[in-house]
């Protein structure tokens, strides 16, 4: 119960501070620092498994780039001839030993083609890291908005419980004065019990929302959240929207990276069709004269059974698929951006309406109903109906503002710009 009361008081104070415009501070006590969304995103980026996986991907791609630039290792060779035969070749009496080194020589630009593939993979890894960072920001933004909205709903529930208690007191005064039936007091008591149960429910939801956010960022939340995030959006600016374009977005840059990897793969497949040389200088001991002579061998594979045509055809098909997927991605991204713009605009309209004139009208109606009920001009049902309408409008305003912020975050994620050069900063 103490935790519940503390949560209610904290949420109510946060909302009160966020809704205060101007005015003088109530005390000289310095308020705790606000735990902002940007700070939450920064903390999450340092501990998120997705970010760690992306960094490991970049390290792996860099190591792969180093491996791709290495030349083939030489091979040490040894050979013994004229042993275990008949006559003079029995045993090791006529053995001739040859030692040498086989040096593979790559032809056709294989090393350069491998390096090109590795460079494309490194750029792709950098883009994947940037995509992971954008996804983390989007996910943290959603959790942060939900936590702020949960605090707002908790504060509203606490205020509604306070109003229900005041209504119960007013009903008791009316019953004692003989101006109302005891049923009104019972009805007001039911409303109070329901309101207090709503406070407990919203407190649990607010605690869960903060726990989810803390779990995502990997640390406890210090300080209050930035309640200004759910302030009403600015007035709408009417005018033609620029055409949705996927150019420069992370999604299209990732598709471009896949296409670059496929292009490099085609060049590597073509280079692999060129046979490599293997040269082998060495020394041979001649058993007959006990002399030593130089030996030089040259070998080259014959591309009779596998000429590399199938590998080139496979690489070309992969390149065609990557190009088609890039075009599909461009269309999907542009459609998603268009839909997200409409969703954000509609959410802003609903948020302005729910948190503006409609909410003000509900607040004024509830205020008049309270005064009229205390003075005996309105019945209890009128008061309860006005209070219920106000509570619904306040919650609808919070839901609309949260939807607006989530729509903005979704649009920002879709239009997130790709880093220069494909490298994650």
Domain 72-105+274-307 has CATH 2.60.40: no
What is the pLDDT confidence band of residue 148, given thresholds at 50, 70 and 90? very high
Whole-angstrom Cα distance, residue 237 to residue 36? 27
Average pLDDT score, the chain: 83
Residue pLDDT, tens place only, 257-281: 999 999 999 999 999 999 989 998 8
Q: What is the pLDDT of residues 230-251, one digit of tens each?
A: 888 877 665 567 778 889 899 9
Rounded CA separation 383/354 (Å): 21
Q: What are the tokens at 394?
A: 């306040």
pLDDT of residue 19: 42
Pick the range with the lowest mean pLDDT from 93-97, 168-172, 242-246.
93-97
How does residue 356 score in pLDDT terms, banded at 50, 70 and 90?
Answer: confident
d(CA 42, CA 31): 22
Whole-number Å distance between alpha carbons of 197 and 164: 12
Same topology between domain 2-18+32-71+106-273+308-422 and domain 72-105+274-307: no
State the pLDDT at residue 25. Answer: 41
Residue that has been written with the tokens 């960022």 in this structure: 217
* Digit-coded pLDDT (tens) for 279-304: 988 888 777 777 888 888 899 988 88
Cα dihedral 145, 148, 154, 155 sign: negative
Does the pLDDT at position 377 exceed 80? no
- Tell me how far CA of residue 118 lies from CA of 104, 121, 124, 258, 259, in angstroms: 21, 5, 10, 12, 13
Cβ-proximal residues to 366 (8 Å cutoff; 6+ apart), any chain: 386, 387, 389, 390
Task: Give the mean pLDDT of 117-141.
Answer: 93
Domain boundaries, the chain: 2-18+32-71+106-273+308-422, 72-105+274-307
What's the predicted TM-score (pTM) here?
Answer: 0.76
For residues 119-149, one letter each, b for 16 or more C-beta atoms within 10 angstroms of the residue's C-beta and e for the rest, the string is: bbbbbbbbbbbbbbbbbbbbbbbbbbbbbbb
Which pLDDT value is given to residue 350? Answer: 86
Percent of the chain's residues with pLDDT above 70:
88
CATH number of 2-18+32-71+106-273+308-422: 1.20.1600.10
Q: Which of 11-20, 95-104, 298-307 has the lowest mean pLDDT?
A: 11-20
- pLDDT band of residue 32 (cuts 50, 70, 90) is low
- Predicted confidence at residue 160, as pLDDT, reads 86
User: Per DSSP, what are the bridge partners of residue 278?
Assistant: 104, 299
Could you read off the pLDDT of 329-348 as tens digits, one per residue?
999 999 999 999 999 888 88
pLDDT at 24: 39
Got the DSSP string for 6-66? Answer: HHHHHHHHHHHHHH--S---S-SPPPPPPB-HHHHHHHHHHH-HHHHHHHHHHHHHHHHHH
């Amino acid at each position: 119960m103490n935790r519940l009361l503390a949560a209610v008081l904290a949420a109510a104070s946060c909302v009160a501070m966020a809704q205060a415009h101007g005015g003088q501070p109530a005390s000289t006590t310095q308020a705790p620092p606000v735990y902002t969304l940007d700070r939450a995103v920064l903390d999450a980026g340092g501990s998120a498994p997705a970010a760690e996986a992306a960094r490991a991907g970049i390290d792996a791609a860099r190591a792969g780039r180093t491996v791709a630039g290495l030349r083939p290792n030489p091979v040490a060779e040894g050979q013994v001839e004229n042993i275990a035969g008949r006559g003079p070749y029995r045993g090791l009496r006529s053995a001739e030993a040859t030692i040498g080194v086989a040096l593979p020589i790559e032809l056709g630009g294989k090393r350069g083609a491998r390096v090109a593939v590795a460079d494309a993979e490194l750029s792709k890894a950098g883009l994947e890291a940037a995509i992971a960072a954008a996804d983390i920001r989007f996910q943290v933004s959603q959790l942060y908005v939900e936590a702020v909205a949960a605090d707002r709903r908790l504060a509203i529930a606490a205020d509604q419980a306070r109003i229900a208690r005041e209504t119960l007191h007013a009903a008791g005064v009316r019953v004692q004065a003989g101006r109302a039936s005891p049923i009104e007091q019972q009805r007001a008591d039911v409303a109070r019990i329901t309101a207090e149960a709503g406070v407990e429910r919203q407190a649990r939801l607010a605690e869960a929302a903060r726990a989810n956010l803390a779990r995502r960022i990997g640390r406890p939340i210090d300080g209050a959240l930035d309640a200004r995030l759910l302030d009403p959006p600015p007035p709408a600016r009417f005018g033609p929207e620029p055409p949705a374009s996927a150019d420069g977005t992370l999604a299209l840059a990732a598709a471009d990276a896949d296409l670059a990897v496929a292009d490099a793969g085609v060049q590597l497949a073509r280079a692999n069709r060129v046979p490599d040389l293997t040269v082998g200088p060495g020394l041979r001991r001649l058993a007959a004269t006990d002399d030593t002579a130089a030996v030089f061998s040259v070998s080259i594979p014959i591309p009779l059974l596998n000429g590399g045509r199938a590998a080139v055809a496979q690489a070309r098909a992969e390149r065609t698929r990557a190009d088609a997927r890039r075009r599909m991605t461009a269309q999907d991204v542009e459609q998603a951006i268009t839909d997200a713009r409409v969703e954000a605009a509609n959410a802003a309209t609903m948020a302005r309406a729910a948190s503006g004139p409609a909410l003000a009208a509900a607040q004024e109606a509830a205020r008049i109903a309270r005064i009229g009920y205390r003075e005996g001009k309105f019945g209890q049902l009128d008061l309860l109906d006005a209070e219920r309408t106000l509570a619904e409008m306040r919650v609808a305003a919070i839901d609309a503002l949260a939807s607006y912020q989530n729509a903005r975050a979704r649009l920002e994620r879709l239009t997130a710009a790709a880093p220069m050069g494909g490298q994650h900063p």
